[in-house]
Structure formats: structure tokens, C-alpha cells
Amino acid sequence: MAFGFIGMLSEQEILQSLMKWRTRLSAAAWVVVRDAHAAEDIFQNVALKAMTREVSFETESALMSWAFITARREGIDWLRRHHRETLCLDDDTLNLLEHEWQATPSHDAGAKIEALQDCLASVPESSRRLLKLRYFDGYSCQEVAEQMGSGLNAIYKRISRLHQSLKECIEGKLSRLGEGS
Amino acid sequence: MNHDEPQRELLVRYLDGQVTPAERQRVAELLRTDREAREFLRELAEQSVMAADLERTALAQQQELSPRASQGAENRRAVRARLRPWQWGLAAAVAMALLALAAIQLSISFREPRGSNAFPASKPWILRVSKVTGSSQFFGSGGQLESALNAGAQLRAGDTLETRSCDAWIELELRDGSRMTIAGHSTLRILGSESDATRLNLLRGTLWVSPARRPAAEGLEIQTPVVVIEARSTQFDLQTAAAETLVRVNEGSAHVRRNLDGSVVEVPPGHQVTAALGRQDPLAALPQPKPVDHWVCDLGRVPEVILGRWLPPEGTERARLGAAPLPWPLPDRDPVMLYAAAFSALSSSDHPVLLQTGSKLVFRGRTDRPQTVRFGFSTQKMQGAFAGKFEMDVRPELLGPAGQTWEVRLPLSDFRPLQPQLSFSPDGLELTDVYALTIKEDAGLEVFHVELRPHIPE
């Protein structure tokens, strides 16, 4: 049961914050589990816990600290269940990544996903297929290479370049969006 | 360090799991020391989850337009094509904050129009509702909110059930014929059904599991905030709060893993395991303790209070629990407001509390205004499944003048069974929780003392 203490985030504020940070929290979980669907499950579990737990949050940053830690724990637990513990980055690196995620100004999650959608519209169909096979269907790069009739090293190179170009494209669009508003 | 393309490729290979031990070391060093490398990794991770979101949304729309496309999608490898647009799935978590939902969905909307039923009905059901009693809510993974859940409803991955009143419970059936019951004030989320196991998450409350009476019972994995329980053909029950879980196995065995450190224990029949977030002691399966026939609820211990609001001490009454309002939805009618105080016997005693013919439930309390008070309790079979609820009403004239402390001693035989098909009499059953409430009117009900007294021959 939630109580509305003065100075504490309300349920609505908690939810709004989680939505705003949703991509980053899911991405933090993805870094641990490397499975987009599992990362989404973890984000939803984190949201569920935030809404049903009895402890209140004084600030958004307190909520986010808790949420990143919880997402990491859930991710590690998922790895254990799937016997993939060895995949996990060390704690120090995860701490750094999460710290930087929290310290970097956050765009609205919806704006960034729209920017990605726009950027994807401008890349070749084969690049969109590459992303889908790798991140939605969950194929390994070797399997992606086989499906696309390409060499493994070429796939690594293409994925690397694609992410970098999408990064620059997204940043450009978000920057223009910021100027426009 | 200038972050160049070979380093980005190394990170991509690392994420693919295709690096040598030496390269793994290089990646670790790179991420520790190079901010740009970390930035690339963070961006890659964000893009991967966003790309999957966009695919999910596109596929959901495709499914709505073409049933054949949905069938094709199901054949795809991987979870993978589970269609659960996150903003709808999160609705399951929203509970009371639903008012915020519409605004938030708008603020992060995709540009394609979303159907109101993006969640695909073609997903196979995992649990089916057999019976619902009392106040409950259903939060669908497709964004639905239902206050009146009906028998026959089929539940799928991402759906959440919440029983809200003391006298609520929901009986559920799994695809293999196994049955489970969730008690009042419980929240159960359906995570999915993968391989040969059904995965659930009990966030709080009590759940009983009775396996199918056949060798083909599927595996069951239940997560709580503290442990993960894996069982097959096992009759067990569990109670959980945010920081503590108790698992009792009555038939078969269960594999219990503590989330905190991954330690595991196999719980044989007749044994139980308790795990708490604040305790570091080894996880151990212990024989279930022998039952007791006398129980006094310690109102000073928070875990024993399921519902109510604390009031300041007054006179000799140091512990006063006031009834809290609780809306009780009714099908096709306006909800009825209950004012209830509820206490857990399971959480308060290390021993099962045995109900016997001749025993009495004693309540001490007060009402500010003359009002009938309904007293009730829930039971389970000793080392077994949910066994029903029992209630009785006490008219105001039997409670004495309003505003004065009363004490009622209620023989168990005077309580009426709400589910006589489960148990006609509480004799021999285990007490799980106790409650007192008024209906519609807030009579200022307060409870000071709850006790189960055994029959003492004169």
C-alpha cells in the first residue's frame, strides 16, 4: 500500500520517471543479459517492483539508483537461470556504465526511439534486416552471417559501422529537436 | 585514447561471445579506461532494445492486419517473437496509478497508430481462471484493466492478477491440469511458458499449488522478491512479502534458489525453507514444525498486519489497528466499500495454527457507531492446499454500546463456510489469516487483540 508522504515521489511521478528512463534501464539490463526480450522483461519487473514496494523515493535520482541496481540484479539472476554467468561484465565496469547513464542528460525515451525510426528509414533494407536478425530474432553473428550470405568478420564490421552511423544520425535529430523546441 | 573502428568491432565481437581470453581482458581494460568505448557500448545497448521495440510494434500491427502473419511469427525462432509492446506491458505494473498512464503513453508514443488490442490474443494461454471470489483486479499485458475477473478467463504472458480484499481468492488451472490458488492481498504476474516450465512471479501474498495427478505435469518456476522456486509434480505453498519468503513442501520436492547469492536447497516433503533479504545464514530445509492450537496475534509486529491503519495508543490498549477502506467491485453494480482490518497467522507463528472443534476466536475492539461487524478467517489444509474461508456477522446490540471496548468469543462452529465444497468445517484445518470488517459504512472499527483459544474441557 502506498502512502503519499510529503516530499516523496508519488506513484504517478515514479511511473513518469521510469518511462522517461525506460530505454536506458532496458539497455542497462541488455548489457548484462544481451537479449532484448529479456531486457524488456527485466524493465517491466523493475517497474512492477517500484510500484508495489513499500519504500518511498525522495527524488528521481534515488529512484534511478535503485532501478539500475535492481535491473542489474535481475539481469544477473536471469543469467544464472540460463547458465550464462560467464558472459557478465565485472562490477566496476557495470558501475561506470550505470553512473554515466545516470549522469548524462536524458532525452525523452519516445523522442529517441522516433529518431532511431527516422534514421532506420534512411539506411538500406539489408541493414534493417541485420538489426532485426541480431537483436529481435536473437541470432548470433555467425547465424546472421549465414542468413545474409556474408562472412563473419564482415558482419562484425557492418554492425559496428551501423551502430556508429545510427548514433550520429540520432544525435543530429535530437539536437535539431532541441533547437526547434 | 582515440576510439577507432577496430575497437568498436572488438566490442561487437565481445557482445557476440566470440573473443579469446586475451581479447576479453582487452575489452575489460578498454571499458575501464576509455569513456568513448563505454559511450559506444551504451549507445549500442540502447539501439538494440529500441530496434527490438520497433520490430515488436511493427509485428503487432502486422498481426492485427493479417492473421496469417501472426501464425508465421509464432513459428519464428526465439522468444522471441513475443509481442508485448512495453508500454502496454507496463500497464500491468501501474496498479493504482492508472490515471497517469494515458498521458505517459502519449509522451513516448511511436508514430504509428497503435490498436487498442496490440496484445495478440493468439498468444497461448498459460493459466485459466476457475473461480474468483472477493475483490480482485486483472492488469492485462495488452493494457486491459478488469475489476471483475470471471471464471474461464484465459491469462497469458505479461498479465497480472491482484487480489485486493481479505476475503478474496482466485483459483487457477494450468495447461497440464495442475491447480493453484492465490489468497487475498496477493499479486501474481505471469511471466511466460518456455521449454516445459511455466514461469510466474509472486510479488506478495500467498499461493498454493496442487500438481496434476499424472506423470506429465509440467515444470513450474515461481519467482518471489527473495527466491526462485522450481518444482514439478509438487504440492507446496508459499507466502512472500518484499523481504521474506516461506516455502513449504508437502508432496514431492522443490528446488529453491536464493536471489541474493544464488545458493540453492532441495526441499523434501514435510519440510520448509525461509529466506529473508536481511539474513546471510545458509539456506536450509527444515522439517515443518508441529502445529499449535493456541495463537495470539502480536499486533506490534508489522508482518502480521495485512490491512489496516495504525492508531496511537489509548488507555491500556497499546496496539490499535483501525479498519482501512477497501473497494469491493461487484459485477454490473457499483462497488461496495469495506472497512477492514486483517492479520496473518502464517506470518506470525513459526508453527502452523491448528483449528479444532470447540476452539474460539477472540476479538477485542471497538466501533464508534453501532454497526454489524463481520468476522472471518481463511484456512488451508494442514500441509495442503487452500481450504476456504469462514465468516460470521455479529450484530451491534451484541457488541454493546458504541464507543466502548467489546470482546467477542466466537466458537468456530458458528462460522459459516463460504466454500462448503472445499471444507464444510474448519476442524483440522490450518489458520492462515483473520479479519474483521464493516460493510458500506465506516463505523470506526478498531481491533486491539486477536486470539485463537483452544477448547478447554470443564
Q: Is A162 helix (H, G, I), strand (E, B) or coil?
A: helix
The CATH number for A109-180, chosen from 1.10.3720.10, 1.10.10.10, 3.30.1490.100, 3.40.50.1970, is: 1.10.10.10
**Whether A112 and B50 lie within 8 Å, measured CB to CB:** yes
**Whether A117 and B80 lie within 8 Å, measured CB to CB:** no
**Whether A113 and B108 lie within 8 Å, measured CB to CB:** yes
Which of B89, B96, B97 lies closest to B159, judged by CA?
A: B89
- Rounded Cα distance between A39 and A171, Å, is 23
Instruction: Report the residue from A44, A54, A87 with minimal CB separation from B17.
Output: A87
**Whether B111 and A114 lie within 8 Å, measured CB to CB:** yes
**Whether A117 and B45 lie within 8 Å, measured CB to CB:** no
pLDDT at residue number A12: 72
**Whether A163 and B104 lie within 8 Å, measured CB to CB:** no
* Residues A148 and A155 sit within 8 Å (Cβ to Cβ): yes
CA-only gyration radius of chain A, Å: 18
Instruction: Report the residue from A12, A20, A47 with minimal CB separation from B90.
Output: A47
pLDDT at residue number B197: 84
* Residues B181 and B386 sit within 8 Å (Cβ to Cβ): yes
* Residues B157 and B126 sit within 8 Å (Cβ to Cβ): yes
**Whether B31 and A93 lie within 8 Å, measured CB to CB:** yes
Give strand ranges (E) for B67-186: 127-133, 136-139, 145-146, 154-155, 160-163, 169-174, 179-182
The region, left, alpha or beta by phi > 0 then psi within -120 to 50, assigned to residue B435 is beta
- Rounded Cα distance between B201 and B14, Å, is 32
**Whether A37 and B39 lie within 8 Å, measured CB to CB:** no
* Residues A32 and A72 sit within 8 Å (Cβ to Cβ): yes
- Taking only the tens of pLDDT, chain B with its 458 residues reads 445 789 999 999 999 988 888 888 899 999 999 999 999 999 999 999 999 988 877 765 554 444 433 343 333 333 333 333 333 333 333 433 333 333 333 233 323 322 223 233 446 788 999 888 777 788 887 677 777 677 888 888 888 998 877 667 888 998 888 889 988 788 999 998 876 789 999 998 889 898 886 666 678 999 999 999 999 889 999 988 888 899 999 888 999 999 888 899 999 998 999 998 877 788 999 998 888 999 988 776 555 677 788 787 777 777 788 898 877 765 556 677 889 998 888 767 778 899 998 999 999 999 999 999 999 998 887 766 678 889 999 999 999 899 999 999 999 999 988 877 778 889 989 898 899 999 888 999 999 999 999 987 65
Torsion on CA atoms A19, A22, A25, A31, rounded to nearest 10: 170
Backbone angles phi, psi at B361, to 5 degrees: -95, 130
Give the three cell numbers for residue B89.
506491458
**Whether A132 and B111 lie within 8 Å, measured CB to CB:** no
Task: List residues bridging with B338 in a β-sheet.
Answer: B326, B439
CATH topology of domain B295-453: Jelly Rolls (2.60.120)
The pTM of the full predicted model, rounded to 2 decimals, is 0.48
Alpha carbon of B94: minimum distance to chain A alpha carbons (Å): 6
pLDDT at residue number B318: 72
Residues 6+ apart with CB under 8 A from B24: B14
- Rounded Cα distance between B338 and B327, Å, is 6
- Rounded Cα distance between A126 and B392, Å, is 70
**Helical residues (DSSP H) of B16-134, grouped into ranges:** 21-33, 35-65, 67-74, 86-89, 91-94, 99-107
Listed as ranges, residues in chain A with pLDDT below 70 are: 1-7, 51-56, 84-87, 107, 109, 178-181
Contact list, B5 vs chain A (CB under 8 Å) = 157, 160-161, 164
Instruction: Output DSSP code: residue B314.
Output: B
Residue type, A103: A
Break chain B down into helix, strand, coil percent, rounded to 5. 20, 40, 40
Alpha carbon of B454: minimum distance to chain A alpha carbons (Å): 34
Contact list, A100 vs chain B (CB under 8 Å) = 35, 38-39, 42
Q: Which residue of A has its CA nearest to B79?
A: A37
* Residues B327 and B333 sit within 8 Å (Cβ to Cβ): no
Domain ranges of chain A: 11-103, 109-180
Level-2 CATH architecture, domain B92-114+123-287: Sandwich (2.60)
* Residues B263 and B282 sit within 8 Å (Cβ to Cβ): yes
- Write the DSSP assignment of A95-123 as a string of letters: HHHHHHHHHSPPPPHHHHHHHHHHHHHTS
**Whether A49 and B109 lie within 8 Å, measured CB to CB:** no
Contact list, B84 vs chain A (CB under 8 Å) = 40
C-beta neighbour count of B219 within 10 angstroms: 18
Range B244-251 contact pairs with CB under 8 angstroms and sequence separation of 24 or more: B244/B274, B244/B275, B244/B276, B244/B277, B244/B303, B245/B274, B245/B275, B245/B276, B246/B272, B246/B273, B246/B274, B246/B346, B247/B272, B247/B273, B247/B274, B248/B272, B248/B288, B248/B383, B250/B383, B250/B384, B251/B211
Task: List residues bridging with B434 in a β-sheet.
Answer: B343, B377
The residue of A3, A48, A107 whose CB has the most chain B CBs within 10 angstroms, and thus the best one to mutate to test that interface, is A48
Q: Is B290 helix (H, G, I), strand (E, B) or coil?
A: coil
Contact list, B262 vs chain A (CB under 8 Å) = 80
Alpha carbon of A75: minimum distance to chain B alpha carbons (Å): 11
**Whether B110 and A109 lie within 8 Å, measured CB to CB:** no
Contact list, B228 vs chain A (CB under 8 Å) = 77, 81
